[in-house]
Structure 1
Amino acid sequence: MFTLLTGIRPDAPGEEPVPAWVTAGIVMVFGGLTIWLAAKTHQGRNWARWALLGYLMLGWWLSSSELTEQFMRSPLVGFIDVLCIGMELAACGLLFGGQSAAWFTDLARTREPPGR
């Protein structure tokens, strides 16, 4: 989201600049969704862990189509995008592997079924 700040990501040739209020709205909606899913994951909600993975995968798929163009327009923005994707991949690896996977499994076993 850092690259959405004015002056960081150059406008594509022939495109109108995006108003700041639109950028702020997009950051608030998608940033809020990310924070909400992360909070639910932290509470041990397994569905949120999978929803967060799907949400991130959709972002990777959408950004991968523009990655080469980003590097050509601004190597700094391309590098930041690749760095962010790498950190997200590492975080997902930690979230789904090793002790995290065991924690979610143990938590699911100890939870009572709804209605009891």
Structure 2
Amino acid sequence: MDSISSSKPRAVEIAVLILWLALAVGLVTSVATLSHAALPVSSTLVYSILAATFAVSAFFVYKISRGRNWARITYLILMLLGMFKTVPSLVSTIEHAPFSGTLSAADVVAQLVAVALLFTGASNGWFERRTP
């Protein structure tokens, strides 16, 4: 494979950057929200689950940046499944905590934009060439 055809498309570079930023914003928002919440279980358990979730997400973003098509598809599926729980709660979150809710809504939109960029024509071709 020559260096020109194997270079990462700009859409993928932007998408990966957006995903890293969305991950960071999501982590900060989650920690800030949880720090003020009355938790029905141990805070250690909640923060452990949060850390594991973000570690898995970071793993997928890393693999996407390395051109792994399975990671791109898996991330898309997991993100869409997560939207079923996230999107309906955004309205009440925005009403009760406008800053945090708006930040969460922007995070969701950013992830949708990033995933859309990962499935554009140039991105599709790059992922298909990168898959062994």
Match of 2:99 in 1: 76
Task: Determine the C-alpha separation between the residues in 1 that align with 2:43 and 2:30.
Answer: 10
With structure 1 as the length reference, what TM-score do the two structures score?
A: 0.76
Higher mean C-alpha deviation, range 69-78 or range 98-107: 98-107
1:5 matches 2:31: yes
Q: Which structure's relative contact order is higher, taking Cα pairs within 8 Å and 6+ residues apart?
A: 2
Contact 1:9 1:74 in 2 (8 A): no
Percent identity reads 23
Where structure 2 has 5 or more consecutive residues not aligned to the other structure, the ranges are 1-26
Specify the alignment match of 1:55 in structure 2. 78
Match of 1:33 in 2: 56
| Greater share of helix | 2
Task: Output the TM-score relative to the length of structure 2.
Answer: 0.68
Q: Please, which runs of 5 or more residues in structure 1 have no aligned partner?
A: 112-116
Name the aligned partner's letter for residue 30 of structure 1.
T
Take 2:102 and 2:59, find their aligned partners in 1: how far apart are those partners? 27
**Larger-gyration structure (1/2):** 1
In 1: Cα distance, 2:75 partner to 2:57 partner: 7
Q: CA deviation at 1:9?
A: 7.3
Tell me which amino acid in the other structure corresponds to 1:78.
G
Which residue of 1 is the match for residue 115 of structure 2? 92
Q: For the aligned residues, what is the CA RMSD?
A: 2.1
